[in-house]
Amino acid sequence: MFFFSPTKGRLTFEKMFQDILDYIAEDVGASYKLIVGTDSQTRDEVCFVTAVVIHRVGKGARYFYAKKYDRKMASLRQKIFYETSLSLSLASRLAEKIATHGPARMGVEIHLDVGTEGPTKEMIREIVGMVVGSGFDAKIKPESFGASTVADKHSK
């Protein structure tokens, strides 16, 4: 899987992670959040976009994204669960790298494409429970900009 950066182009997972570490090293006194979120768009097939955002709180951010195409999903529920599983998979990989090579005290936050308005409101407890039960913080709309803004932008 390759990731894309608006400034650096196509990157491997390792190069993306190194770029995240380099970004943190530029201002070690700042506070950071590492965010993963997935969104999708359905046409003939489904385009899933998983975004990784390194947010220097109050001072900007840098992001990366990966695209994956799959067959149409049978239901919105199936699609939301699949988006969440893609985010969990990447977040787990990032958390593992952080544990061995990253800054101390950096957790991974997962931004979910569900909210209290619209058809996904019935799934919030299950989806958030899936994420929190896996050891990650979960954010839903309107706080889930990693999924609803960054990933959404590249899924269209």
pLDDT, averaged across the chain: 95
How many domains is the chain partitioned into structurally? 1
pTM value? 0.96
pLDDT in tens, 52-99: 999 999 999 999 999 999 999 989 999 999 999 999 999 999 999 999
Which phi and psi (to 5°) does residue 101 adopt? -130, -5
Structural domain harbouring 64? 3-155
pLDDT in tens, 1-11: 899 999 999 99
